[in-house]
Amino acid sequence: MRDAFGRSENEYSRLVAKTNNKMLNQLWEKKKIPEEAWTDHSLELFLAWLASHDTNNRMDMNPLGAGEREGRVKSAFVRRLHCNLSHGIGRSGNLCEIQPKALGSSMLNCLANEFALHSLHTLGLTCARGALVVPVATGMALMLCMGSWRKARPNAKYVVWLRVDQKSCFKSILTAGYEPLVVDPIRVGDALVTDIERLNALVEEKGEEILCVLSTTSAFAPRAPDDIEAIAAICRTHDIFHLVNNAYGLQSTECIRRLNNAKNSGRMDAFVQSLDKNFQVPVGGAIIATTKQSQAASIAQFYPGRASCVPSRDFVLTCLSQGIRSLLEGFEDQHRLFEKMRRKLRAFADEIGENVYDVPDNKISLAMTLSTIPPEKQTLFGSILFSRGITGARVVMSTTKVSRVENYEFLNFGSHTNEQHGGYLAMACGVGMIDGELDELFTRLSSTYLRFIHKVTHSAKAHSTSFDVDRDEFSETDKD
Ligand SMILES: *Cc1c(COP(=O)(O)O)cnc(C)c1O
């Protein structure tokens, strides 16, 4: 058979090698998300190429590891799962230092950070100067920012937290070793917005002892994004750090607009976003973006130890598998679908005599009143929605109960405010949702609601109907 391979076949083979090399080298030279999507075949080639740079995969000689951490992986399955990349990222407690034994993993880490900045810029976040992909979720990433700032404000013991009822961002303050000073939002129209006056008074009073203000852009309606422009101005006047929790805010043009304005109008040091909520990768990573390049480096320096490269890897592969164009299209689809969700929810609310909260600045989440369901039945309604396969939509009841998060007490936790209300249903349109899912959501929501109302109004002893089965089988709210 060998005689059948002639000059043209050999030439073609050289072309294949050249093309593959060109593709990989260009990526490494540019360090930008390519315009066009890569095929799965190219992704495999890319990973094999990276792994070849790690010393334990050397082919020019037999590698001999004489250290305590040599990238050995016992299980062949686990090795395959990680595509022979086993060294992780970082070195002796600096996430951005190159690990000589693991050049491939270090290159992957570098690409992840570059892609993160590229994607933020492409989404319009011109205020970002540095970006760091960290192998921890949003709450822990917020903690890393605060921890890295400690030495800059040695007298600080407080972090001002603009209340948003989500436990991980609150706990990030405690984990960083600071005491939270809570500022509740105030009601303007239907929306819960930042109490700038109260924040100002607090900062005036305790300025020196405050490390930073922790604000939030993306939150469940009726909470609006914080007024980070005004907060940034206060932080600049008082020379304190400003950290923004932008957990799923990359999807919202309003969050992006505010972030850019905040940098121009005052001080904003860093904003943190979840990798999974924004880029559809498995949970485990976040992007810390900074408005000064040197800030990202100092947070990387603060990180204790080496880290998993899995979140960086999944993010890089996800960017390559889409290309910058369809990455953007995914976000544009969210903008369109959110408007559709709002139209549909308003139509549904009209039909059943409810109202959709008017929170124009929240372009991800919606809330609808539940006045037609007696308060004592609202939780049950939430658990039935869950049992019908609707996850993420949650019923928020008003409560005078006190909830504890560590040693801190909150009234009406879940509502972002102590203020009592009539109960509502909140839902979000996250990037990745598709038209069919949205249609099905409203079909199920509508049929479940009508059946529920029928039982509640037509059964004198509604509490003993078959709905109780649901209550036992399913948890009441999504605790996410
Ligand atoms: C998701 C989210 C967080 C962070 O949660 P992690 O599990 O740490 O990623 C923080 N705040 C808000 C508002 C969120 O939605």
C-alpha of residue 272 to centroid of ligand 1, in Å: 10
- pLDDT for the residue numbered 461: 54
Residue 305's identity, in one-letter code, is G
Tell me what pLDDT residue 476 has: 36
pLDDT of residue 58: 87
Token digits for 378?
């609202």
The CA 120 to ligand 1 mean position distance, Å, reads 19
Fold of 103-322: Aspartate Aminotransferase; domain 2 (3.40.640)
CA of 157 to the centre of ligand 1 (A): 23
Please tell me the residue having the least CA distance from ligand 1 atom 14: 247
- Centroid of ligand 1 to alpha carbon of 289 (angstroms): 16
- Per-residue pLDDT of the chain (480 residues), as tens digits, is 888 999 999 999 999 999 999 999 999 999 999 999 999 999 999 999 999 999 989 888 888 888 888 899 999 999 999 999 999 999 888 999 999 889 999 999 999 999 999 999 999 999 999 999 999 999 999 999 999 999 999 999 999 999 999 999 999 999 999 999 999 999 999 999 999 999 999 999 998 999 999 999 999 999 999 999 999 999 999 999 999 999 999 999 999 999 999 999 999 999 999 999 999 999 999 999 999 999 999 999 999 999 999 999 999 999 999 999 999 999 999 999 999 999 999 999 999 999 999 999 999 999 999 999 999 999 999 999 999 999 989 999 998 999 999 999 999 999 999 999 999 999 999 999 999 999 999 999 999 999 999 998 887 554 544 454 444 333 334 445
The CATH homologous superfamily of the domain defined by 328-473: Aspartate Aminotransferase, domain 1 (3.90.1150.10)
* pLDDT at position 59: 87
Mutate to test the pocket of ligand 1, among 165, 167, 169, 283 (most ligand atoms within 8 A of CB): 169
- The domain ranges of the chain are 103-322, 328-473
CA-wise closest residue to 287 among 335, 249, 338:
249
Query: Closest ligand 1 atom to the C-alpha of 164?
Result: 13
267 is in an annotated binding site: no
Ligand 1: centre distance to CA 75 (Å): 33
Q: Give the span between the Cα atoms of 294 and 301, in whole angstroms.
A: 11
CA distance 480 to 468: 24
Give 52-101 as a DSSP string: HTBGGG-SSS-----SS-----S-HHHHHHTTT--S-B-BTTBTTS--TT
pTM: 0.94
The residues lining ligand 1, judged by C-beta closer than 6 Å to any ligand atom, are: 137-139, 164, 166, 168-169, 216, 218-219, 245, 247-248, 274
Q: Point out the ligand 1 atom lying closest to the alpha carbon of residue 277.
A: 1
Which atom of ligand 1 is nearest to 276's Cα?
9
Which residue minimizes the CA distance to atom 1 of ligand 1?
Answer: 247
- Which of 163, 166, 429 is the pocket-test mutation for ligand 1 (most atoms within 8 Å of CB)? 166
Q: For residues 39 and 20, give the distance between their C-alpha atoms in angstroms, rounded to a whole number.
A: 13
313 CB contacts (<8 Å, ≥6 apart)? 47, 85, 108, 112
pLDDT given for residue 459 in this prediction: 72
Cα(153) to centroid(ligand 1), Å = 26
Give the count of beta carbons closer than 10 Å to the beta carbon of residue 138: 27
293 is in an annotated binding site: no
